[in-house]
Amino acid sequence: MADEIDPSATSSDYDAQIAFWEKVDAILQGEDAIKAGTTTYLPKFANEKQAVYDYRLANAPFTNIYSDISKNLASKPFSKELVLKEGTPPPFVKLAENIDGQGNNLHVFAASAFKSALDKGIDWILIDYTKAKPRADGRPLSRAEEAQQKLRPYWVHVPAENMRAVYSDFVGGVEVIHRACISETSKQIDGFEETCIERVRVLDRVRLVDELGQTTGYAPATWTLWEHQTNSEGKAGWVIIGSGPITIGIIPLVAVTLTKRSGGSWIVEPAIRDIANMQITEYRQESNLNWVSIMTCFPMFCISGMETKDATGALIEVSVGPNMVFQIPQNQQGTGPAGTATVVETSGAATSELREQLELFRKEMRDLGMQPLAEANLTVVTTANVSKKASSAVQAWAFLFKDALESALKITAMWLGDKVEPEVVLHTDFAVELESGKELDALLKSQGQGIYSAETVRAEFKRRNVVSNDLTEEEEQQRLAEEQEGQQLQPEKVIDPVTGAPVVVTPEHGTVNPPPAPVKPRPTAN
């Protein structure tokens, strides 16, 4: 048991981002998580008593605008199914149907990774391989034996907060990850008791140097699994419970980022960081509005001229509220009440002002989130511009994400011993705007003028989601043929049944049958 070794230690990049990751997690989890953060997200007023703060916190509303913005933006690239490019070898197609070994196909797994990267700036995909049962004679497994044990590569989603540390270096112009520490805390059941087991998986590559101490490369990758244990003497520490080589030689890890990294670090600016920060401000503004409403919705009583203490010297407390009545005692002379009471009511101007500021701030949040929402004070042109801005931003994120997925597929191919580099088809064409159907009208006119074919027009209708994307061109051709089948064919020209000559129709004389053509005499033999 090694006390001095702590594989769970975090890197400086991790420490610089963990506070924001926790904030985003709290926002996405909703009101209960935000309120559990108490003063972190809702500070106390100066000299505010704890009991008053607790009441204000309990009654603070939370409208989660950030979650709505994040979901809408993250769903855009996945409005159509993410698939492998046509012609991809069958083994990859089969893996894509259950890419993580837990029943999630490539589309579902990718959507989750994209959403996490959008919220936190970075996410990770570990491409692992199922553990094989070795042969008794120590010889390598054959392909048939691997298939019998159902050995296969699978993807593991590693959230940003579980990647305790990552270090990389550039060798020969290529970035190489040479250390990664992944938290793998799990739960273990002993009878009816649940125990939390803290583990860290360390993926490592030893640096190779020349005689001058310059890096020349990195040794093949290895893995080590550490577990935090307490021995019989009550001493806690980290123990290695497993280790071995990574047979493909590299650390099979892919970073999912939608924006640029900060220099050579693994610090990434989240794409919608500002909206997350604005969500906390919105929460505080909404809480303030609610608190002002509570404090001003009931009139206040002002009592003057009355003794503050009774005959015993105790302070006189006056309770007011619905269905409550209080009585002012007589003065010492017995000539009348010992004081007067008046009602003081607020104008409500402060509440109206706070409400207007809150609505304006919410609108700014939605606009910053590039949401194509049709507000009452937005013109058609303004709404379209907001939508195009959102589409262009998400489009850029989608291209970066596509590159990350294909990097993960390349590592998957290494596990399979294949040199193929599969490609994915990710929907990025969501900037199409339907401006009152003008494009569709133009397409139909162009087809009628012979500029575009019917097949091209049908493809554009699918592209704009006017018709189902599941409809294939072959199916449409078949349907058109079935509709035309049995329909009475109209002749191009009316033919006289006797002479076989065309019937001429003129507006002045109606139908005119031209005389039959003269019959030429047959030539006679000389």
Task: For the chain, 526 residues long, give each residue's pLDDT as a single digit of tens.
Answer: 555 789 999 999 999 999 999 999 999 999 999 999 999 999 999 999 999 999 999 999 999 999 999 999 999 899 889 999 999 999 999 999 999 999 999 999 999 999 999 999 999 999 999 987 766 666 666 666 666 667 899 999 999 999 999 999 999 889 999 999 999 988 888 888 888 999 999 999 999 998 888 888 999 999 999 999 988 888 889 999 999 999 999 999 999 999 989 988 999 999 999 999 999 999 999 999 988 887 776 667 777 777 777 778 787 777 766 666 767 777 777 777 777 777 766 666 777 888 888 888 888 888 877 543 333 344 444 444 444 554 577 888 999 999 999 999 999 999 999 999 999 999 887 655 444 456 677 777 787 778 778 888 777 676 665 666 666 777 777 777 777 765 555 556 667 766 767 766 665 555 555 555 555 566 555 5
Is residue 460 assigned to a domain? yes
Is residue 58 assigned to a domain? no
Residues 6+ apart with CB under 8 A from 274: 368
Is residue 476 assigned to a domain? yes
Is residue 65 assigned to a domain? no
Which pLDDT belongs to residue 55? 94
d(CA 15, CA 165): 10
Residues 6+ apart with CB under 8 A from 102: none
Residue with tokens 């837990």: 102
Which pLDDT belongs to residue 338? 73
| C-alpha dist (Å) from residue 348 to 87, 102, 321, 342, 344 | 68, 57, 19, 19, 12
Contact at 8 Å (CB) between 355 and 289? yes
Is residue 155 assigned to a domain? no
Which pLDDT belongs to residue 265? 94
Which pLDDT belongs to residue 508? 57
Which pLDDT belongs to residue 38? 95
Split into its structural domains, the chain has a count of 1
Which pLDDT belongs to residue 26? 97
Task: Report DSSP state, residue 25.
Answer: H
Q: Where are the beta strands (DSSP E) in 191-332?
A: 193-197, 199-204, 207-209, 215-218, 222-230, 236-245, 253-257, 300-304
Tokens of 198: 């803290």
Which pLDDT belongs to residue 463? 62
Q: Which residue range forms the structural domain that includes residue 464?
A: 434-483
d(CA 387, CA 392): 9
Contact at 8 Å (CB) between 27 and 279? yes
Q: 154: which strand partners?
A: 128
Which pLDDT belongs to residue 145? 62
Is residue 515 assigned to a domain? no
Is residue 479 assigned to a domain? yes
Which pLDDT belongs to residue 400? 94
Task: Report the amino acid identity of residue 360.
Answer: L
Which pLDDT belongs to residue 347? 65
Is residue 4 assigned to a domain? no
pTM beyond 0.85: no
Q: Return the sign of the alpha-carbon dihedral for residues 362, 364, 365, 371.
A: positive
